[in-house]
Amino acid sequence: MADYRIFHSPRLSGEVDVSTAKNAVLPILAAGLLTQEPLIVKDVPRITDVDILLQILRDCGAQVERSGRDVSVCAQHPGSPDNETMIRKLRASVLVLGPILARSGSACVFLPGGCAIGQRPIDLHVKGLQTMGAMVHAKGGQRQLSGKLIGDRVYLDLPSVGATENLMMAATLARGQTILENAAKEPEIVDLADCLNAMGARVAGAGTGTVVVDGVETLHGAVHKPIPDRIEAGTLLCAAAITQGSILIRKARPEHMRAMMFKLKEAGVGIRETPAGIRISGTAISPFEARTLAYPGFPTDMQAPMMVVALKCHGTSILAETVFENRFMHATELCRLGAHIRIENHFALIEGGHSLVGATVTSTDLRAGAALMLAGLICEGETILQDPSGHIERGYQDLPQKLRSLGARIEER
Ligand code: UD1
């Protein structure tokens, strides 16, 4: 639950390693519930969201061990978690639903609860499992699902990342073939499918809109190293772009980051792919327009950091948020620093080029917190970033340390 003091910083320079992707690691750890043998996940980031999920997996009866950077999950007889407080803390807690139901024939979850950025229902997860034969009862803030799953054709009204993951995991142990239509295509879906296949599942088409899963009797243990975090890498690119920096982001995978790299180029930044990672130099100067969309569109998780880039560009940039209904809260905080931003429905109009002055701002969600940390680097004087809920530590491993290693002036209080 840190607060941060951020000072106007020089051009960032140097090299930095990107951590393993939070959004890949969470579903992959949940996949450990699908087998009674150990699943070993390599290079798991030290972030609070992972700690919470590991607690929930223990609550499900799994043996969970951290050994250095790796985590092993072994679930002999998984059952439903009953620690409602933990479940409500983490949206991704819903990812245990599909595996537990598929393994044991019944599962019960508390609704993960709303979230500052939007309502975030789980209707698509539940409807998909219902199509696969689960009976659903609502009881005291919980959903109870039961029944042997049978493969079927499931159409997702929206390409939800979490619903695609949950249904894909459940389908691995269903009887017969499941076809997920309008599935999410994010790299984290492909990574989960790779892990499931390493455990003996038969998943095809991950990364396209149609995922086909042929159910098998049992899965076995495996060792899997998830992909690097494209959102962390994108956040670091933005930090360089606003400070006229020149940095190399090692281990970043450009093929996962096309939309954000295009937008940064449009803003005038130089970006080069090298065998070692992504090299960025120069400064953002030209206004741009971006619309958040499901992958391979521009990621909603990059909307807040890109808003800070827009503050450096001379002219009006437009950001349209189409994925979550309430994801512009950082705009109000940025205005405290002197930013000129107007929100109209799903659009943010950002008039860049004004000088920013340090003030006290508050992080309202994970990506908003990161964006405010970046903004502090280009404010005159000192910015106090309050993060009473520890949003930044939930999803970024060592973000202030990484920025400091590149020359940023950030202190933790
Ligand atoms: C994941 C990511 C999150 C990212 C988001 C969108 C993880 C742990 N988190 O979240 O960082 O911002 O994808 O890229 O991977 N929806 C429904 N009903 C459902 C499920 C979703 O209406 O049953 C809606 C949501 O409210 C939202 C949209 O679908 O408006 C996309 O949500 P979804 O893709 O499910 O996001 P998450 O998996 O929760």
How many helices and strands in the chain, by DSSP H and E?
Answer: 14, 25
Q: How far is the CA of 258 from the centre of ligand 1 (A)?
A: 20
Q: What is the pLDDT of residue 121?
A: 87
Distance between CA atoms of residues 229 and 76, nearest Å: 30
Question: pLDDT > 70: what percent of the chain?
Answer: 99
Q: Where are the beta strands (DSSP E) in 313-407?
A: 315-320, 340-344, 347-352, 356-357, 360-362, 379-380, 382-386
Topology at the third CATH level for domain 25-221: UDP-n-acetylglucosamine1-carboxyvinyl-transferase; Chain (3.65.10)
Q: Ligand 1 pocket: which residues have CB below 6 Å?
A: 23, 26, 91-92, 118-125, 158, 160-163, 184, 188, 300-301, 323-324
Encode pLDDT of 94-107 as tens digits.
999 999 999 999 99
Encode pLDDT of 160-194 as tens digits.
999 999 999 999 999 999 999 999 999 999 999 99
Read off the pLDDT band of 114 (50, 70, 90). Answer: very low
Distance between CA atoms of residues 7 and 9, nearest Å: 6
Q: How far is the CA of 24 from the centre of ligand 1 (A)?
A: 14
Encode pLDDT of 104-113 as tens digits.
999 988 877 5
More confident position, 194 or 282: 194
Q: How far is the CA of 324 from the centre of ligand 1 (A)?
A: 8
Where does the chain hold its CATH 3.65.10.10 domain(s)?
3-14+228-412, 25-221
Encode pLDDT of 38-48 as tens digits.
999 999 999 99
Whether the pLDDT of residue 7 is over 50: the answer is: yes
Nearest Cα residue to atom 35 of ligand 1: 160
Backbone angles phi, psi at 298, to 5 degrees: -70, 125
Annotate 29-53 with b (16+ C-beta within 10 A) or e (fewer).
bbbbbbbebbbbbeebbebbbbebb
Query: Which of the residues 115, 238, 313, 379 is marked catalytic?
Result: 115
Choice from 91, 161, 321 to test ligand 1 binding pocket (greatest atom count within 8 A of CB): 161
C-alpha dist (Å) from residue 249 to 12, 14, 42, 230 = 12, 9, 20, 11
Q: Is residue 62 within a helix (H) or strand (E), and if so which, with residue range?
A: none
Residue 399 sits at the vertex; the CA angle it makes with 383 and 160, to the nearest 5 degrees, is: 110
Greatest C-alpha distance within the chain: 63
Q: Is residue 168 within a helix (H) or strand (E), and if so which, with residue range?
A: helix 161-172
More confident position, 204 or 109: 204
How deeply is 100 buried, as exposed, middle or buried, from its count of CB atoms within 10 A (0-12, 13-18, 19+)? buried
| Mean per-residue pLDDT, 378-391 | 96
Whether the pLDDT of residue 115 is over 70: the answer is: no
Q: What is the pLDDT of residue 64?
A: 98
Q: What superfamily would CATH give domain 3-14+228-412?
A: Enolpyruvate transferase domain (3.65.10.10)
Cis peptide preceding 296, ω within 30 of 0: yes
Q: How far is the CA of 121 from the centre of ligand 1 (A)?
A: 9
Q: Is residue 324 within a helix (H) or strand (E), and if so which, with residue range?
A: none
Encode pLDDT of 216-272 as tens digits.
999 999 999 999 999 999 999 999 999 999 999 999 999 999 999 999 999 999 999
As given in the structure block, the two tokens for residue 192 are 């989960």
The verdict on whether 115 is a catalytic residue reads: yes
| Mean per-residue pLDDT, 184-213 | 98
The β-bridge partners of 137 are 144
